[in-house]
Structure 1
Amino acid sequence: MATAHKHSHHEHEGEALITAAKRSLEEQGERWTGMRAEVFEELAKHSRPVSAYDIAENLSNQRGSRVAPNSVYRILDIFVRGNLANRIESANAFLVNSHPGCRHDCIFLICDDCGAADHIDDDRLTGALRNAGTEAGFAEVRPVVELRGLCGSCAR
């Protein structure tokens, strides 16, 4: 079995993750508003991909007032552009990036049974995809690679 070329980065969790996300977003010239903090904290609570609708519903319940899914989508789009979150295209859902500020292309592994999601890094594979897109005339190429199957727990 081939070994993936690992991209080295530091994984954050808890308050360290929130601090790293805030710092990364502000370094990109974006503001860390109260609503953005709430959306990020809610997203960070989930180990599985979560939809903007689920985040909006959870925040609405916490606040006692309605949070519009469109507002959450706009914030999540900022997070994806800023590398604070990843969009899981096949599930129309989002997953927190546990290493904000570290730019690289992830290969997502999504369990068809339990919905768990994880990622691996293989810079050779994603680099080849990026190069192929660039050679085809595309600019700002961003590979999105998702592998679906059964996680180790569900495959047993």
Structure 2
Amino acid sequence: MIAVHHHHEHSGAGLVAAAQRALEQAGEQWTEMRADVFAALAAQPRPASAYDVAEGLSVSLGRRVAANTVYRILDLFVRTNLARRVESANAYVANPHPGCRHDCIFLICDSCGSAVHSDDDALTEALVGAARRAGFADVRPVIELRGTCARCSGEHDG
């Protein structure tokens, strides 16, 4: 039987509060810099690189923020499920439900760069099962589909 996956997607201040709770429950501290990085990532309209986040933070904080500092924090966020890495773009997105663990599918627009995350537990469980039957352990599906989003498709119809 396939598990049905339900979760609440947070946004705005609720997302930041949920991220802080999830990080602290993972035994990590919610520092000012981590809060700043998370807020900057969550405000991005599309997947952002560590350099994008560092540049934005440098401007908003009025001091230079090193990309390697942001990389370390983003890696922590991925490990603790506060962010997801979009592998094909070497970029990150804030996880809208940080207290929930599952494998997600990214739908990435080649025109505008937006990424929509979709959950399909039946598909990801089938892929993990196939990998385990082939002898793989510690399987982590990375599923990214590229195409043109509905908004961009409409813009090109004209």
Q: What TM-score, normalized by structure 2, do the two folds share?
A: 0.91
* Aligned mates of 2:28, 2:136 — CA distance in 1: 27
SS at match of 1:130: helix
Q: Does the 8 Å CA contact 1:47/1:95 hold for their aligned counterparts?
A: no
Identity of aligned pairs, percent? 64
| TM superposition shift of 1:6 | 6.1
The residue number in structure 2 matching 1:29 is 27
Gap runs ≥5 in structure 1: none
| TM superposition shift of 1:104 | 0.7
Q: What TM-score, normalized by structure 1, do the two folds share?
A: 0.93
The residue number in structure 1 matching 2:111 is 113
Q: Does the 8 Å CA contact 1:6/1:121 hold for their aligned counterparts?
A: no
Q: Which amino acid aligns with 1:72?
A: V
1:21-80 deviations in Å (ceiling 9; x for gaps): 000011011111111000000001012101100100111111221111011001000101
Q: Does the 8 Å CA contact 1:6/1:122 hold for their aligned counterparts?
A: no
The residue number in structure 2 matching 1:14 is 12
The residue number in structure 2 matching 1:99 is 97
Moved over 2 A (4+): 132-140
Higher relative contact order (CA 8 A, sep 6+): 1
Range moving further from structure 2, 132-141 or 97-106: 132-141
Gap runs ≥5 in structure 2: none
How many residues are paired up? 152
| TM superposition shift of 1:7 | 2.3
1:97-121 deviations in Å (ceiling 9; x for gaps): 0000100111100000011110111
How do 1:132-143 and structure 2 match up within 5 A? 132-143=130-141
How do 1:122-133 and structure 2 match up within 5 A? 122-133=120-131
The residue number in structure 2 matching 1:54 is 52
| TM superposition shift of 1:138 | 3.0
